């Protein structure tokens, strides 16, 4: 049984149907990637799974229990959501930001906050004001905030956007090690090379529909990339896996 | 953490000292502890009458009103994530002023003096009801701010209309003076009338301190952390209406305190919106006590109005805040 399961999710924003009958499962212990062109509905899908948006049709199940039978607070403990925007409105320290991950729980639990800082390699930044950190450091602190929720499901919306290659790899390694500790990780990615390298499974979302799903090599095919992105890609073997590099527009 | 505890201790000690000083200072210097001793032993004197009838209500109201304005200001700034937000932003002050002015205009105040605070309270609660109607589901702060701006404009236009239509120039002058804010000539009846509303308001405002912290990360992330925006905004707006509405109803408009006090406290509380609430309430109470002492000791022909003093002192702080924000943006 999947940890988190989406069944027939549909939603329209204005006159536009953003998601159309989307179904998939998120298993524990794996990194599941959600890829697709801009406007495909990836962020909307994540927001529905985090219960920030209500679908017009379909349901979400957490270990087989429909989401409407689970309170918002319990849902917040079970699913951590990392938003695309890196907004912090007051000059809090990095540690105070990470501690906000404990909001759905009764106590702050300093040990979990420390662990999240350690996992992301940001312990040395703990007492620095968040606003003074570099972009990559900010992304890691916000990822630590997400880990501090200690949820079974982690939903990350473009966690590596605008990061340099080292920080991209570091963030993806953290997500993978989180998954290996029995969590279900769903990550929205635009970087197909990272998707191929770090995701155990991928779903390709195009115009609100899942058009492909499976192992990265089954999803990131030349045909799928041509149809969904309108690009030709360069492929090559690397260790036990492969790499993919979008090369030119068709 | 120790420093944060120290802030509470220092503020409480300063507040207690300011309170005792406020009881003693005025046209008739008063030996506070000795007078309390007299009251305790059932003896009446000139001092005990002044203490119980004039100074104690005044000092208690300064603490209650200052705490309400400081707390509500901190809540509004945290909720709207705007350092320039203040308690009156959502139209509560305007509604309270309009309600009170209606009591002046209709002559109700002349027949029943407590009609003034009751009218103010009714005005502030009515303004909240209209705010909820205008802002819809309250699932977003922008709609709330826009609705508050519209409400304030309407309330001040209607207040001006009643002033304009007032056939009695003395009543109009009384309205103008009342709006400037004052704690003079208030009794323990005013304290008893305001206290339940203020305490209920404080409880509602402090309830959401963890939600205010989570809102630091934006509305979406806060919601993903279990914060219900609808319920939080309902509690905060209602809490502000109760305690600030009661404050305005009892002593008129007192500007800048709700805007400035949270900024004074923020550096000592790690800038966390939830942590700044109680220190802002304590500091607001202390500053209003000091301002009220100032209006009594500054030599002038007629006693200065409290709202005038807080505004005169508050404006330089406000300007400093503008320059600081400008520096941060450049």
Range of the domain at B122: 2-329
Range with top average pLDDT, A104-113, A129-138, B65-74:
B65-74
More confident residue, B179 or A72: A72
- Domain covering A4-86+151-249 in this structure, CATH number: 3.40.50.300
The contacts of residue B73 (CB under 8 Å, 6+ apart) are: B85, B86, B87, B257, B258, B259, B260, B261, B262, B280, B284
Nearest CB among B217, B224, B270 relative to A52 is that of B224
- Which tens digits make up the pLDDT trace of A166-219? 999 999 999 999 999 999 999 999 999 999 999 999 999 999 999 999 999 999
Is the pLDDT at A6 greater than 80? The verdict is yes
Is the pLDDT at B148 greater than 70? The verdict is yes
Cβ separation of B220 and A83 shorter than 8 Å?
yes
pLDDT band of B29, cuts 50, 70, 90: confident
Nearest CB among A75, A83, A91 relative to B271 is that of A91
The pLDDT of residue B84 is 85
Range with top average pLDDT, B42-56, B278-292, B302-316:
B278-292
Is the pLDDT at B1 greater than 70? The verdict is no
Nearest CB among B216, B223, B266 relative to A100 is that of B216
Is the pLDDT at A129 greater than 70? The verdict is yes
**Range B266-278 average pLDDT:** 93
Q: Which residue from A minimizes the CA distance to B220?
A: A52
The pLDDT of residue A83 is 95
How far is the alpha carbon of A45 from chain B, nearest alpha carbon, in Å?
14
CA distance B79 to B204: 13
Residue B157 and residue B94 in contact, taking contact as beta carbons nearer than 8 Å: no
Which residues in chain A have their CB less than 8 angstroms from residue B77's CB? none
pLDDT band of A77, cuts 50, 70, 90: very high
Nearest CB among B211, B225, B273 relative to A90 is that of B273
Nearest CB among B213, B226, B266 relative to A76 is that of B226
CA angle B327-B72-B314, nearest 5°?
Answer: 50
Cβ separation of B217 and A87 shorter than 8 Å?
yes
More confident residue, B104 or B150: B150
B155: domain CATH number is 1.10.3470.10
- Which tens digits make up the pLDDT trace of B205-230? 999 999 999 999 999 999 999 999 98
Strand order in the sheet with A57-62: A16-26, A4-13, A57-62, A65-66
Which residue numbers of B have CB closer than 8 Å to A's CBs? 81, 210-211, 213-218, 220-228, 266, 270-273
Q: Does A98 touch chain B (CB under 8 A)?
A: no
3-state secondary structure of A234: strand
Which residues in chain A have their CB less than 8 angstroms from residue B217's CB? 83, 87-89, 97, 100, 145
Is the pLDDT at B174 greater than 90? The verdict is no
* Domain definitions of chain A by residue range: 4-86+151-249
Positive or negative, the CA dihedral B287, B289, B295, B298 is: negative
The pLDDT of residue A102 is 96
pLDDT band of B170, cuts 50, 70, 90: confident
Cβ separation of A103 and B216 shorter than 8 Å?
no
pLDDT band of A116, cuts 50, 70, 90: very high
pLDDT band of B90, cuts 50, 70, 90: confident
The pLDDT of residue B329 is 65
Domain count, chain B: 1
More confident residue, B44 or A119: A119
Nearest CB among B210, B224, B272 relative to A50 is that of B224
**Could you give the angle at which helices A110-119 and A165-180 cross, rounded to 10 degrees?**
130
Is the pLDDT at B257 greater than 60? The verdict is yes
Residue B194 and residue B264 in contact, taking contact as beta carbons nearer than 8 Å: no
CA distance B263 to B268: 10
**Range A156-173 average pLDDT:** 94
Cβ separation of B210 and A80 shorter than 8 Å?
no
**Range A21-31 average pLDDT:** 96
Q: Does A90 touch chain B (CB under 8 A)?
A: yes
Q: Does A181 touch chain B (CB under 8 A)?
A: no
Q: Which residue from B minimizes the CA distance to A131?
A: B328
Q: Which residue from B minimizes the CA distance to A149?
A: B225
Cβ separation of B272 and A92 shorter than 8 Å?
yes
Percent of chain B scoring above 90 in pLDDT? 52
pLDDT band of B3, cuts 50, 70, 90: low
Distances (CA, A) of B201 to B108, B132, B133, B134: 27, 17, 21, 22
CA distance A7 to A131: 40
The pLDDT of residue A210 is 97
What are the beta bridge partners of residue A61?
A5, A66
The pTM of the full predicted model, rounded to 2 decimals, is: 0.91
The pLDDT of residue A250 is 87
The pLDDT of residue B321 is 77
CA A227 to chain centre: 24
Q: Which residue from A minimizes the CA distance to B218?
A: A87
Is the pLDDT at B124 greater than 60? The verdict is yes
| Mean pLDDT taken over chain B | 89
The pLDDT of residue A108 is 66
Q: Does A40 touch chain B (CB under 8 A)?
A: no
- Which tens digits make up the pLDDT trace of B94-111? 999 999 889 888 888 878
């Amino acid at each position: 049984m999947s940890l988190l399961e989406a069944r027939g999710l549909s939603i329209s924003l204005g006159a536009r149907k953003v998601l159309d009958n989307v179904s998939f499962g998120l298993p524990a212990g794996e990194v599941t990637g959600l890829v697709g062109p801009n406007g495909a509905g990836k962020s909307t899908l994540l927001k529905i799974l985090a219960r920030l948006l209500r679908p017009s049709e379909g349901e979400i199940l957490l270990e087989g229990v429909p989401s409407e039978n689970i309170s918002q607070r319990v849902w917040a403990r079970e699913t951590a959501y990392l938003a695309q925007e890196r907004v912090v409105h007051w000059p809090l320290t990095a540690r105070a930001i990470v501690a906000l991950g404990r909001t759905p729980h009764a106590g702050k639990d300093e040990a979990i906050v420390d662990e999240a800082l350690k996992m992301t390699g940001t312990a040395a930044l703990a007492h620095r004001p968040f606003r003074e950190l570099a972009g990559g450091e900010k992304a890691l602190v916000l990822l630590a905030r997400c880990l501090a929720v200690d949820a079974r499901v982690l939903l990350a919306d473009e966690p590596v956007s605008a990061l340099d290659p080292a920080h991209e790899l570091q963030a993806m390694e953290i997500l993978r090690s989180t998954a290996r500790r029995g969590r279900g990780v769903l990550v929205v990615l635009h970087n197909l090379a990272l998707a191929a390298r770090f995701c155990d499974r991928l779903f390709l979302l195009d115009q609100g529909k899942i058009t492909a799903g499976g192992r990265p090599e089954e999803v990131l095919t030349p045909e799928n990339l041509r149809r969904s992105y309108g690009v030709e890609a360069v492929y090559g073997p690397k260790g036990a896996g492969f790499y993919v590099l979008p090369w030119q527009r068709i | 953490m120790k420093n944060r505890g120290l802030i509470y201790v220092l503020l409480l000690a300063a507040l207690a000292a300011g309170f005792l000083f406020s009881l003693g200072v005025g046209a008739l210097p008063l030996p506070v502890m000795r007078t309390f001793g007299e009251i305790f032993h059932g003896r009446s004197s000139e001092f005990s009458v002044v203490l119980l009838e004039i100074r104690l209500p005044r000092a208690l109201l300064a603490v209650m009103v200052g705490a309400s304005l400081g707390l509500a200001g901190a809540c509004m700034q945290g909720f709207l994530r705007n350092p320039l937000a203040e308690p009156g932003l959502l139209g509560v002050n305007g509604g309270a002023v309009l309600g009170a002015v209606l009591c002046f205009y209709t002559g109700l105040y002349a027949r029943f003096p407590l009609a003034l605070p009751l009218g103010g309270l009714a005005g502030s609660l009515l303004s909240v009801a209209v705010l909820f109607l205008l802002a819809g589901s309250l699932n977003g702060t922008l709609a709330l701010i826009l609705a508050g701006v519209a409400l304030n404009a309407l309330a001040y236009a209607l207040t001006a209309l009643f002033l304009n239509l007032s056939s009695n120039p003395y009543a109009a002058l009384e309205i103008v003076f009342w709006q400037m804010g004052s704690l003079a000539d208030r009794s323990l009846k005013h304290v008893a009338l305001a206290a339940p509303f203020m305490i209920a308001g404080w409880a509602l405002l402090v309830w959401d301190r963890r939600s205010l912290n989570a809102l630091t990360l934006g509305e979406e992330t806060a919601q993903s952390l279990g914060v219900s925006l609808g319920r939080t905004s309902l509690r905060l707006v209602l809490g502000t209406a109760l305690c600030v509405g009661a404050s305005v109803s009892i002593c008129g408009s007192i500007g800048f305190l709700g805007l400035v006090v949270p900024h004074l406290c923020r550096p000592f509380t790690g800038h966390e919106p939830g942590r700044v609430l109680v220190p802002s309430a304590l500091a607001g109470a202390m500053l209003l006590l000091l301002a009220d002492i100032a209006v009594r000791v500054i030599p002038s022909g007629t006693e200065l109005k409290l709202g005038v003093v807080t505004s005169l002192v508050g404006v330089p702080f406000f300007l400093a805040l503008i320059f600081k924000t400008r520096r941060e943006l450049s």
